Chain A
């Protein structure tokens, strides 16, 4: 009960509540990147990694990892935050992309950009077939079906060890320089700019998708599934499209991992990895794209920092951090920030009256 009454509009009479909720709805729509036009803060956010490159030159490895995983978490945000499908199987697509990119390089296709696109295409295809399984049922059912898909794919990769390397992983492949010029180096400089560029392109693409009529219809489906068919929209096919796109993007993230680390471990398609994606997304906040970025960065930096201080018991502190975020920053870190703005406005606005 305490939680609900904490919201600004809940204790007001019904009439004004409907008004404020409409207003609230509009402000949420703005927060959730409904407009295709980029805003100033977005440029600032995307400058941050570039600044970090020069400020923390010793931490490029972590930076590359963060941006790689951020792409996968963005993919998850499309299905979870926008289409409302809880997926605990996204590591499957991430891993399929990673293996596709790794196997291409191992078999002589060393050009990274086309390799990356093919990796995305491979996941996209598998994602399309999987999408038929995930539109049925409610949250828990979908959670378990996607989990099941993840487990089956993992076991397949384990069984096909003559191709995938099984538990020992896929190794011993090399990737050509980007554009034939920039070779991947020990310090991770090339990898850093490569992953930064790819993640920016992916972000712009997803930003475009979520603010398109298709993206808006996804949100409408999420907020009231029953009304959508009346508007002439096929709910299931839209959800399937969103899931398929998301799988493709997750595959690109996996491809980045394979290309920048010259290694694919079977853990890249494990359930713990999928759970990690989910945790990172929820930590940052769903349905905002920027939540995915912030959640990934915060989770991974905290993980590295805590594991360096306390290699044995870092999980304890990590757990405390996650619980604290839920208790004090409901809706994820970015979600809480966005919620803060209207509630501050409302408070000051009321005081002015």
Chain B
């Protein structure tokens, strides 16, 4: 019985990790930069296709493709930011919504054109298949990987944003652009790098998620709710908030589906509404 509960908790954590992975990039572009980026899924999809393409055409192992998924999406994000998105930082949120929805439409059709409409194959190596028994509990190996990546990523992001010079410049630029520019910070460059970081993380999440989320041209729309869920419930602009939100949503969703399967589809949505009403600026939000 206890091993059962621990197993469910573990699955919940793993699912939460997956939610966090696909959403954390959005916490940077939308949360930190205050840019309503509904195109997040398009960059996640791009990362997924990079991973699949390298795996299938060059025979690269799955884990090796992950850095390329990050870099590929980051590069794409950088180019898109320089050419398009940077023109919209000062636009209204609604214009940002319209623009990024348009971007999603085009990217769906483009992905269809280049990669076909079918589901792509995920290529999990053998050592990530199946379960391993730890202290009487069966733990999925792929799920362990997800949790490990999230742990590493959280630490890395925290250090980058709070301990490095880049992080300090980001915080300054986000808080007050004019003052930051007055201090000699290249605000445009900082924003570009920030956007690239966010889209790169999206790409990493997209690649890591293929095993569960699948990958086809409809990806950016299909999972948009999930990206937004994590970031908005967590509170935009922090790393901690989305992490907490993802874990709560993941654990409740999995436990709910296991113990009360009849309520399956409702749990995550109702929980979202309740959390948002209780914490309108998010779980990790500083401003009330």
Contacts and interface: CB of A to CB of B under 8 A. Distances in A.
Interface stretch (A47-55, A102-110, A231-239, A322-330): A322-330
A278 B99 CA distance: 12
A321 interface: yes
A179 interface: no
B163 interface: no
A155 B270 CA distance: 11
Interface stretch (B1-9, B44-52, B85-93, B133-141): B85-93
A209 interface: no
Contacts of B36: 140
B84 interface: yes
B281 interface: yes
B95 interface: yes
Nearest to A322: B102
A155 B107 contact: no
A144 B228 contact: yes
A326 B98 contact: yes
A338 to B, nearest CB: 15
Given A148-B269, A313-B112, A322 B228 contact: no
B229 A144 contact: yes
A27 to B, nearest CB: 18
Interface stretch (A1-9, A182-190, A216-224, A240-248): A1-9
Contacts of A275: 101
Nearest to A325: B98
B146 interface: no
A70 to B, nearest CB: 18
A153 B18 CA distance: 26
Given A141-B280, A271-B225, A321 B90 contact: no
Interface string B101-122: 1111111111011000000000
A313 B277 CA distance: 40
Given A282-B98, A326-B88, A145 B273 contact: yes
Nearest to A3: B90
Q: What interface size band does chain A fall in?
A: 35 or more
A304 interface: no
A195 to B, nearest CB: 26
Contact of A315 (B88, B90, B109): B109
Nearest to B88: A326
Q: What interface size band does chain B fall in?
A: 35 or more
Given A319-B102, A319-B109, A151 B225 contact: yes
Contacts of A283: 98
A147 B280 CA distance: 15
Contacts, number: 125
Report whether over half of chain A's contact residues are helix, strand or loop; otherwise say mixed.
helix
Interface string B246-288: 0000000000000000000110011011001100110000000
Nearest to B228: A144
B87 A327 contact: yes
B265 A155 contact: yes
A286 interface: yes
B277 A326 contact: no
A4 B90 CA distance: 7
B225 A330 contact: no
B180 interface: no
Given A279-B98, A282-B95, A323 B265 contact: no
Contacts of B93: 86, 139
Interface string A324-352: 01110011000000000000000000000
Contacts of B102: 318-323, 325-326
Contacts of A86: 93-94
Nearest to B280: A137
Interface string A149-161: 1011001001000
A238 B84 CA distance: 38
Nearest to A132: B277
Nearest to A323: B102
B232 interface: yes
B21 interface: no
B225 A147 contact: yes
B174 interface: no
B236 interface: yes
Contacts of A322: 98-99, 101-102, 105
A134 B215 CA distance: 34
Contact of B87 (A3, A145, A151, A314): A3
A133 interface: yes
B14 interface: no
B94 A282 contact: yes
B236 A140 contact: yes
A139 B106 CA distance: 26
Contacts of B153: none
Nearest to A80: B94
Given A3-B91, A282-B97, A313-B112, A140 B106 contact: no
A38 interface: no
B97 A1 contact: no
Given A282-B94, A322-B98, 19 more contacts: A80-B94, A133-B273, A137-B276, A140-B236, A145-B277, A148-B276, A271-B225, A272-B221, A312-B112, A316-B109, A316-B110, A319-B103, A319-B104, A319-B107, A320-B102, A320-B106, A323-B102, A327-B84, A330-B91
10 contacts: A3-B90, A4-B90, A144-B233, A145-B276, A145-B277, A275-B101, A315-B105, A318-B102, A319-B107, A321-B102
The 6 A-B residue pairs whose C-beta atoms are closest, nearest first, are: A322-B102, A319-B106, A319-B105, A316-B109, A137-B280, A326-B99
Interface of A: 1-4, 80, 86, 133, 136-141, 143-145, 147-149, 151-152, 155, 158, 271-272, 275, 278-279, 282-283, 286, 312-323, 325-327, 330-331
